[in-house]
Structure 1
Amino acid sequence: MGAILSSLFSAGSTADASASSSEPSSVITFHSSDLWQRHFDASKQNPKLDVAKEFGVRAMPTFVLLKQGKEVDRVVGAKKEEIEKKVKKNREKPKLAA
């Protein structure tokens, strides 16, 4: 899954990668099982509820696109073309009225 997200968002090669644009990215990619395991072990210390429950995830994989803390789109299933389309649609900035 990390590889899919990494290729879609053009993230860097570190665990806390950010997008190449000037906007920060909350996408985290893992290019080794060691990095994933360290992240997973650290998350065990967090007393918060599972994220899947918070977002109502019922199937895997589910991609929830958030913008300014609010869900703007969702893709259920590994549908690369649909994910790319929705990321592009939601990445665009709204046009201001003239």
Structure 2
Amino acid sequence: MAMVYGDRSTSFSSQVLTFHSSAKWNAHFDALKQTNKLMVVDFTASWCKPCKVMDPVIQEFADKFRDVEFVKIDVDELLEVSQSFQVQGMPTFMLIKKGKVTDKVVGVKKEELQRLIEQHRK
């Protein structure tokens, strides 16, 4: 029997979590509040072209910053979650620590997002 847990199979897997239910998101969010881990939430939509531009950037950051949790939330799918964070435009990236928003970036701003991740992950 071949083992499928080697590096080859995991290198193709995404480090970005996606939530399709508010209940699962809330449980995850509540658990992460107890830690000091930085969470970057990417509020996106399937029809949003700038969001598509940032998709590979988020994948790259998730691979680079392994100590940071990256989450993608579709605003149409989880409308109440995006409303609770007062998301106005997309893409919106919320940097959250201990349940509180420490910073946010709206739009295609790779350098600014990277700078803020580096600043808040410590």
How would you bin the TM-score normalised by the shorter chain?
0.5 to 0.7
Matched, 1:61 2:91: yes
Q: Is the contact made by 1:65 and 1:72 (CA closer than 8 Å) also made in structure 2? A: yes
**What percentage of residue pairs aligned between the two structures are identical?**
33
Q: TM-score, normalised by structure 1?
A: 0.55
- CA-CA distance at 1:53 after TM superposition: 0.3
2:82 — aligned with what?
A: 52
Task: Within 5 Å, give how 1:2-81 maps onto structure 2.
Answer: 2-10=55-63, 20-21=66-67, 25=69, 27-28=70-71, 50-81=80-111
2:34 — aligned with what?
A: none
Amino acid aligned to 2:58 = L
Query: Which is bigger in relative contact order (C-alpha 8 A, separation at least 6)?
Result: 2
2:46 — aligned with what?
A: none
Q: Is the contact made by 1:2 and 1:28 (CA closer than 8 Å) also made in structure 2? A: no
Structure 1 unaligned runs (5+)? 12-18, 30-39, 93-98
Amino acid aligned to 2:66 = S
In the TM superposition, structure 1's runs of 4+ consecutive aligned residues that sit over 3 Å from their partners are: none
| 3-state secondary structure, aligned to 2:88 | coil
Which one has the bigger helix percentage?
2
Does the C-alpha gap of structure 1 residues 55 and 80 become closer, same or farther in structure 2, counting only changes over 3 Å?
same
1:55-78 deviation per Cα after TM superposition (whole angstroms, max 9, x unaligned): 001001110000111100000111
Which one has the bigger strand percentage?
2
